[in-house]
Structures are given as C-alpha cells and as structure tokens.
A = this chain, B = another copy of it.
Amino acid sequence: MPNGLLTDLYQLTMSAGYFEAGRLEERATFELFVRRLPHHRNFILAAGLEQAVEYLLNLRFTPDEIAYLRSLPQFARTSDGFFKMLSELRFTGDLFAVPEGTPIFAGEPYLTLRAPLVEAQIPETYLLAMIGFQSMIATKAARVVKAALGRDVVEFGTRRAHSPEAGVLAGRAAYIGGCAGTSNTETGLRYGVPVFGTASHSWVMSFEHEREAFRQLQALLGENTAYLVDSYDTLEGTRRAAELGRPLWGVRLDSGNLVELTKAVRKVLDDAGLPEAKIMATGDLNEYKIHELVAAQAPIDVFGVGTELATSADAPSLGVVYKMVELEGDHGHRYTIKLSEDKHTLPGAKQIFRYPDHDQLGRSVECPSCHGGPRPEALLRPVILRGKLVEPLPGITQVRQYAAESLAKLPASCQSLFEKEHAWRVEISPELLGLYEKVRQGVAL
C-alpha cells in the first residue's frame, strides 16, 4: 500500500529544502506528545504504535506519486536529484516508544524518532493522525469500561466513525482500552479482536411478525441469539422472545427509558424461567449515561457503545504535536526549542521515569537511580533501530492485558470520569530544566 503522499505537502517541500541545502546527512530527533490532557481526562492511554511501525517500515514513494509531485508548482525549482532521492527513500532511523496500553500524561513523549532530517520530517502527519486517533479512542474506551464497573462493553460505532477505516481502527483501540470486542468484522480479521453482533431492526421489520423474526434468528444463532425487542413494543417483544426461550444469549434494547424498561424486561425474563438470559443496552450511550444506569441499578449485563466511543464525542480530538528537540549537523549538535508566545517546548530527547506515585520527565541520557534511591521504570523503549524492528511487537491480547494492569495501578483520582487537579504528578528533572534554561538563554540573544 503506497503511503508516501499521505502527509502534509509542507513535509515534502521542507524535504526538498533540506535536499537543496545539502543537509541530507543531518539527523534530527522529534518527539510526539500531547500538550494538554483533553476535557475530563486525567490520563491518555497510548495506542496505535503497531500501525505507526508498519508505516515507517513500509514508507516509500511510487513513480506515480513522484510524477504527481513534479507537476506541482511548489516543486518547480526543485532539482531532479531530490526526486531520485525520494524514489529510493526508506526509513533508516531509530524509534523509541512507550508500549501500547501505557497511560501517559501531558508533555510526555509517546515516541521519539531519530533519523536523517527528511526521514524524520515526512512521517509527522501520519504518526500524529494514527497515534493521536487510536490513543484518543483507547482512552475513551477505558473511561466507558470503568463506568460499567465490570459489565462488558462492546464497541459498535463504525457507522458513525470518521470514515469506514477510522471505524476499523476504533475497534482495535477500543479493545486495547478494555472493551470486550467490536462489531466491525474487518477489525476482527485484521487485528484479531473478538467480534459481536446478531440482528438489527431491519431484520425484525423484514418479517411480517416479530415472533417469526425471533424464531428464525434463534434457528440460525442458537446460544448466540440476542433478540432485539424494541422494534414495536419492548415488553411485548420481550414476551415473544421469552416464549421462544432457549437456546438464547439474551435480549437487546436500543431505545426508551433504559432504567425502567430493563427492570421490567428482567422481570419478564425471570418470570419465564430464563434467569440466565442477559440484557444488552445500546443507543447513544457513553460513560456518563452508563455511570447513571449502573447507579440506578438497571439490570444491564452488557453495554453496546457506538457513536460516542468511536468518535470520542465529548473530546473529539487530541492535541498531539511532533516537535524537533535535537539536531546533529555539520556544525555540531544543537538542542532545539520553540518559543512561540503560547507554545513553549522542552529541548532534547527525553525519558519518562515512572515511580509508583509520580513520573519524572528527564533527559534520555540521565540516570535517576544511579546515585541511589528508588529505581523507576523507563517507559520509552527502542522499537526500531537503524530501520529494523528490534523485536516483534506484542500481540493485541497482551497489549490489552498490559493496559488493564497499568490502569489498575493508577490512583482512583486518575480514573475519575471528571478532571481532577494533580491527579498524577509529572516532575521535570533538574537536569532537563537546566538544559531548557541554557538553550533558552542561548536563543533569546
């Protein structure tokens, strides 16, 4: 799958600029991080690394893509050598990243990329979109799962996702965030995520009688049957489902007052001698509504969450940025920072040192425990070195498990559905602060 052009044009004009300036051999270090945690979030669950790695390992430009670039006015003055270089471009750099499923915080790098300038610049757009999106959805999923207090949550949102492909990826990220699975079949095949689903209203409406719609579904799905009971009248639908009885998994409600209806539905099922029949609720749910339903003791066993999960509706974008922090060129090594009025950055490659109750953001070269004291976990690890994958990435089940364990270690305040001040402390190490001051004074001549 060609991917070279899936980037902002300026990445390519800048690349041409580096080429023309004879700077191909210079190596830059970029970091990807989120400036501020979004609305109501006290952490971000990192996700999307596997796809980012796949992109880097396959980065290339086809002849058609290069011909297109040559046709653009922005490349009218660019020499042939640039396009030749582009046609041979492969990623030969290094990638360090936190493992997928790691909770991280504002200012902490998800990844550090060190490569020749052009190879470091072109991936910016793709990495931001892929990692930003999956991390946003994994975070949302973790919130929804937390609100469900042990009940299963299934991701049902592809139809409202931002394009079909976003739906496929949302299913993956939601699973990492703790969902039991997804309705997206492609996500199942491509990423090994469990898939769920039985029938919709159109199934019920396609039969003249609801009972017949249920009977046929049961014949097909047996113990996987979930009767959708609200097409005409929820309680009447439940009675018809209960008459057919076993085998069944349970019933699904997609509308109405879910607290009252699920209680009434539970009674119908129990009275019919079907205490094991489960109740799934769907229909514009999110972590806030699930929190209320659970608090109201609505007898719901599984939540299906669609639009709100696949679009992270209450915080539909993540302010991820990708900033140059170091540069090694002909004239030696430099640390770079941005001093725009409202957008300062910290210089130099960093490491996240995680302690049981806080993080320290330090320089990648420092060793906080070398002089004694507790030994923190260093979260950024090598993933690609000199263009080669260091070791196979963990499978998705392992990532999901790691996410659950990592989230469980966070204090309760971090996992609140609402913003908590100082939920997690991120210190800047004295060494990193010192570097910042030095670089800042050097720049502000």
Residues in A lying within 8 Å of B, measured CB to CB:
5-14, 16-18, 20-21, 23, 26, 28, 30, 64-65, 68-69, 72-74, 76-78, 117, 121, 124-126, 128-130, 132-134, 156, 158-170, 183-186, 188-189, 195-203, 205-206, 208, 216-217, 219-222, 224, 230-234, 254-256, 307, 311-313, 316-320, 322-324, 327, 331, 334, 336-343, 443
Contact = CB atoms under 8 A, between A and B. Distances in A.
A222 B17 CA distance: 12
A8 B183 contact: yes
Contact of A121 (B16, B202, B231, B234): B202
A411 to B, nearest CB: 30
A324 B201 CA distance: 9
Which of A17, A163, A169, A200 neighbours the largest number of chain B CB atoms within 10 Å of its CB?
A: A163
A269 to B, nearest CB: 20
B7 A185 contact: yes
A21 to B, nearest CB: 5
Identical copies of this chain, number: 2
B77 A8 contact: no
Contacts of A134: 163
A179 B27 CA distance: 36
A5 B189 contact: yes
A125 B158 contact: yes
Which of A6, A124, A230, A334 neighbours the largest number of chain B CB atoms within 10 Å of its CB?
A: A6
Which of A170, A222, A337, A338 neighbours the largest number of chain B CB atoms within 10 Å of its CB?
A: A338
A96 to B, nearest CB: 18
Q: Nearest 5 pairs between A and B by C-beta?
A: A10-B197, A162-B162, A316-B316, A9-B197, A128-B159
A131 to B, nearest CB: 10
Contacts of A232: 339-340, 443
Contacts of A65: 189
A196 to B, nearest CB: 6
Given A16-B220, A132-B159, 19 more contacts: A5-B189, A10-B199, A10-B200, A11-B197, A13-B221, A17-B203, A77-B219, A129-B159, A133-B161, A133-B163, A134-B163, A162-B170, A163-B166, A201-B323, A206-B336, A230-B340, A232-B339, A255-B341, A313-B317
Contacts of A339: 231-233
A20 B220 contact: yes
A80 B415 CA distance: 48
A296 B324 CA distance: 34
Nearest to A168: B6
B342 A74 contact: no
25 contacts: A6-B158, A6-B164, A6-B186, A7-B158, A9-B183, A9-B185, A10-B183, A14-B202, A14-B203, A17-B220, A20-B220, A77-B219, A125-B158, A129-B159, A129-B161, A129-B166, A160-B320, A162-B311, A162-B316, A165-B165, A165-B166, A202-B324, A232-B340, A256-B340, A313-B316
A327 B77 contact: no
Contacts of A163: 129-130, 133-134, 162-163, 165-166, 169
Contacts of A69: 185
Contact of A200 (B14, B16, B158): B14
A201 B255 CA distance: 49
A183 to B, nearest CB: 4
